[in-house]
Amino acid sequence: MSADFLYGIEVIINGLMAGVLYALVALGFVLIFKASGIFNYAQGVMALFAALTLVGIMEGQVPFSHLINAIFGTEVHHFGWEVPALLAIALTVLIMIGFAWAVQRFVFRHLVGQEPIILFMATIGLAYFLEGVGDLMWGSDIKTLALGLPQGGSLAVEEWTAGLGGDDFYGFFIDKLDMIATIVAILLVASLIIFAQYTKQGRAMRAVADDHQAALSVGISLNFIWVLVWSLAGIVALVAGVMWGAKSGVQFSLSLIALKALPVLMLGGFTSIPGAIVGGLIIGVGEKLFEYTIGAPFLGGATENWFAYMLALIFLVFRPQGLFGEKIIERV
């Protein structure tokens, strides 16, 4: 096989792995949108907040330490212990569930039946609020997430695949962290699907996503389901935040990963879980392949920054409901 062809395959593999992460972020949006019709602008900030909380707990940081020090004139910063990663993850999940409950109890319970645009505005407020709380709790400095995950190219894959091509091919370069992120994302999506298909709560969740009135009539509490989907979205945000944070540090720009999910949603549709997954993969592969074949050789590179949005725009023109979204029919 020619080296060019094999490098093309490498680009596709890397694209698929990036796509899985995009899909993960998009999934958080879809979960909430399907069940409640809320487009959650705060999804990206939730990923940032979850990652910040995880790092803070692991390092034994005192939450709100700046505030405490300012008020009481103390100098506390750390408890002086470190929390093992698994325990810290469990605690962060609990905090995200608490957050989901609070969001439902104090914000959206009072906005039931409001226009979508009002719900959307509420999530914008929520995003800035959560960003502020994150800063106040854990400080605004860039943190490194030391989960002990391996990083860098995998030598094993490189050696194993080197024999595929001739002398000018050195094997696939595949990042170990990307591989782990892919496996984790696949496991998460699989458990979400099993949850939605087979458990009572999952079935109730699908029922609420379909029809609120009918769901009530078979004994489903809408409030409970909304707390549930916000919790799931929080857990998805945590995973996305961890994977992205491990790559490029936990800092404010992490919240911008939500922007990457927008084209994925336009492609896959806002209401489809398979859509989010396929959309993420298409965007991941598309932008890497475009960069490799057209962007770098002819357009001066860096096309990955805008390719996804251009693709989404084309989709908006020809298929506004996305690949799998429900067809939009306006009754006249």
3-state secondary structure of 145: coil
> Are residues 241 and 54 in contact, defined by beta-carbon separation less than 8 angstroms?
yes
State which residue, 66 or 203, has the beta carbon closest to another protein: 203
Q: Among 65-73, 91-99, 147-155, 193-201, which window interacts with another protein (CB under 8 A)? A: 193-201
Contact between 214 and another protein (CB under 8 A)?
yes
DSSP 108-121: GGGGTT--HHHHHH
CB atoms within 10 A of CB 3: 14
Q: Give least dist CB 214 to another protein, A.
A: 4
Cα–Cα distances in Å, from 266 out to 75, 262, 284? 48, 6, 14
Which two three-digit tokens encode residue 235? 């857990």
Contact between 199 and another protein (CB under 8 A)?
yes
In the chain, what is the greatest distance between 2 CA atoms, to the nearest angstrom? 69
Contact between 110 and another protein (CB under 8 A)?
no
Contact with another protein (CB under 8 A) among 200, 298, 318, 329: 200
Contact between 248 and another protein (CB under 8 A)?
no
Q: Among 51-59, 112-120, 176-184, 204-212, which window interacts with another protein (CB under 8 A)? A: 204-212
Contact between 1 and another protein (CB under 8 A)?
no
Contact between 201 and another protein (CB under 8 A)?
yes
Contact between 217 and another protein (CB under 8 A)?
yes
Contact with another protein (CB under 8 A) among 97, 207, 262, 289: 207
Contact between 324 and another protein (CB under 8 A)?
no
Contact with another protein (CB under 8 A) among 70, 155, 194, 313: 194
For the window 137-176, what string marks contact with another protein as x by the rule CB under 8 A? ----------------------------------------
Contact between 112 and another protein (CB under 8 A)?
no
The number of residues in the chain equals 332
> Are residues 236 and 96 in contact, defined by beta-carbon separation less than 8 angstroms?
no
Contact with another protein (CB under 8 A) among 71, 86, 117, 218: 218
> Are residues 168 and 3 in contact, defined by beta-carbon separation less than 8 angstroms?
yes
Contact with another protein (CB under 8 A) among 211, 248, 256, 297: 211
Contact between 198 and another protein (CB under 8 A)?
yes
> Are residues 6 and 167 in contact, defined by beta-carbon separation less than 8 angstroms?
no
> Are residues 178 and 14 in contact, defined by beta-carbon separation less than 8 angstroms?
yes
Please count the residues of this chain forming the interface with another protein, following the rule CB under 8 A: 24
Q: Give least dist CB 221 to another protein, A.
A: 5
Contact between 94 and another protein (CB under 8 A)?
no
Which two three-digit tokens encode residue 184? 């984790």
Cα–Cα distances in Å, from 208 out to 40, 201, 218, 314? 17, 10, 10, 32
Q: Among 50-58, 73-81, 128-136, 220-228, which window interacts with another protein (CB under 8 A)? A: 220-228
Contact between 90 and another protein (CB under 8 A)?
no
Our measurement of the distance from residue 191's CA atom to the centroid of its chain's CA atoms, rounded to an integer in Å, reads: 16
> Are residues 242 and 43 in contact, defined by beta-carbon separation less than 8 angstroms?
no
Return the amino acid letter for 200: K
DSSP 38-53: ---TTHHHHHHHHHHH
Which two three-digit tokens encode residue 50? 């979850």
State which residue, 42 or 235, has the beta carbon closest to another protein: 235
Applying CB under 8 A, which residues contact another protein?
Answer: 191, 194-195, 198-201, 203-204, 206-207, 210-211, 213-222, 326
